[in-house]
Structure 1
Amino acid sequence: MIFLIVILLGLIIGFLYVRYFPIWGVPCMNEPSSSINSLTVVDVRDYTQSYKDSEHESVHIPVGYLKRYFHEVPGGEVHIIASNFLERNISIRFFRRRGFNVTGYTLTDCACG
């Protein structure tokens, strides 16, 4: 019984960590800093939000579709555009696990500062 409680508690903590624990070492930027040739901008917002304020030549893949379509993102450096902290955390962790170098992120709902 104790074993099941420990496993259940571990799963809950892991789930909360992936979604809500902040990511260190990835700066918030208003604009991508590297040259546009070596950097891929990935917009992980919903299609309705990214369609309204599409500013960059970017790859549009909502967070829910990352597992299916991440192969469309060329390897190398990636800059994430997200609308909130939850999308940011999930997408940065996802791309890091797949071997991408996440150089920064932009949040559209709140300013960097």
Structure 2
Amino acid sequence: MVLGWLLFLAMATPPSTTGTKECIFCELTDSTKCPGTHMRCGDDEDCFTGHGVAQGVGPVINKGCVHSTSCGREEPVQYMGLTYSLTTTCCYGFLCNGGSSPSEAATSLALSFLLLHHWL
């Protein structure tokens, strides 16, 4: 039973932010969803989500790792022949730029608990 609770806590608690940082990466896109893939960041990098706007068209987004000094900056980027003003918003946790909503996280945690309880 104790082993089960330890396993549950390990699944429910994100890994420590010391050591290698992992973030979600996805190319610049005009899609509303950016599922991405996992990537490792350098010691002086943070996870980010970039939101870009250009007059008369919909927004663009991208995600990945960025040097800490670039957090919060607004810079021009080219996408599909247009120049967008992209603002970089950084975050500081394991896969923090993944975009999961609190309800998705709670559902995942509840399902993990039920599966673990059934396994025990």
Bigger proportion of residues as strand: 2
RCO (CA 8 Å, sep 6+): is it higher in 1 or 2? 1
TM-score after normalising by structure 2: 0.28
Bigger proportion of residues as helix: 1
